[in-house]
């Protein structure tokens, strides 16, 4: 059973349908106390980091998520749901995240905009795996496979081992997938990424960290 966290800022319908398409049994989670009941947890998200974290804290979901992760529950954060995994964000100020993966959320450099790269970074782009054995959820991803991104900020994990896949917007590299232990984050939207996205969600379903 997959708990899809509903805190008012996620593309819940599309994510739920995609998970169900790959065999997931999905329920929306609206109460912090229910998070512990699920075998896997997915946190989707669109919008501002500050508002997301404020809602997660006010509802008690932030503490419940951390507790579930610390108990070993497989966890997937999507887009903003990935960014809140980090220590802090510099989006419209400085705000603390869940600190499940040490690092920061930063804006694309101003020079990038001045050179003609539009923000947000929106559309199809690559998932580039590092050398060596890929993360179990990423197995089967081939060179040239693309996924769908919509974001103005990017994650910069402190530990290079937590960078599981990368992408570049123009000549500026950023984290496409981050993770450690039973925690995984995807900057792109797998639910909008057609065959590749469904393959990744199926990989998360099978994952036994």
Give the DSSP per-residue string, 37-72. Answer: G-SEEEE---S-HHHHHHHHHHTTHHHHHHHHHHTT
pLDDT digits over 3-19, tens only? 999 988 767 899 999 99
Active site residue 79: yes
Pairing of strands 103-107, 88-89: parallel
Q: What is the pLDDT of residue 47?
A: 85
pLDDT digits over 139-161, tens only? 988 888 999 999 999 999 999 99
Q: Name the residue ranges covered by the structural domains of the chain.
A: 2-206
Catalytic residue among 79, 91, 135, 151: 79
pLDDT digits over 77-103, tens only? 999 999 999 999 999 999 999 999 999
CATH architecture of structural domain 2-206:
3-Layer(aba) Sandwich (3.40)
Active site residue 39: no
| CA gap 26, 31 in Å, rounded | 15
Catalytic residue among 151, 155, 189, 202: 189
| CA gap 153, 164 in Å, rounded | 18
Token pair in block for residue 72: 């070993």
Catalytic residue among 91, 104, 191, 202: 191
Contact 38, 29 (CB under 8 A): yes
Q: Where are the alpha helices (DSSP H) in 39-170?
A: 49-58, 61-70, 80-83, 110-114
Q: What is the pLDDT of residue 112?
A: 74
Half-sphere exposure in the Cβ direction for 39 (13 Å, CA)? 11
Active site residue 167: no
Residues near 134 by beta carbon (within 8 Å), at least 6 away in sequence: 141, 164, 165
Tokens 């960290």: give the residue: 209
Q: Could you report how far apart the first and last alpha carbons of the chain are, in Å?
A: 16
């Amino acid at each position: 059973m997959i708990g899809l966290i509903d805190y008012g800022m996620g593309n819940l319908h599309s994510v739920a349908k995609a998970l169900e398409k790959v065999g997931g049994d999905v329920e929306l989670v609206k109460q912090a106390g229910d998070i512990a009941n699920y075998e896997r947890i997915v946190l989707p998200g669109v919008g501002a980091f500050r508002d997301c974290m404020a809602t997660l804290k006010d509802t008690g979901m932030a503490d419940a998520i951390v507790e579930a992760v610390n108990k070993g529950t497989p966890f997937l954060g999507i887009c903003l749901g990935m960014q809140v995994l980090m220590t802090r964000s510099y989006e419209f100020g400085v705000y603390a995240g869940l600190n499940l993966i040490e690092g920061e959320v930063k804006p694309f450099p101003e020079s990038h905009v001045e050179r003609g790269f539009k923000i947000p970074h929106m559309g199809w782009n690559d998932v580039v795996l590092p050398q060596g054995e890929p993360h179990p959820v990423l197995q089967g991803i081939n060179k040239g496979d693309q996924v769908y991104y919509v974001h103005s900020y990017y994650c910069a994990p402190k530990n290079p081992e937590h960078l599981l896949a990368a992408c570049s917007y123009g000549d500026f590299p950023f984290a496409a997938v981050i993770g450690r232990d039973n925690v995984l984050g995807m900057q792109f939207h797998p639910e909008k990424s057609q065959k590749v996205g469904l393959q990744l969600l199926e990989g998360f379903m099978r994952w036994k960290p």
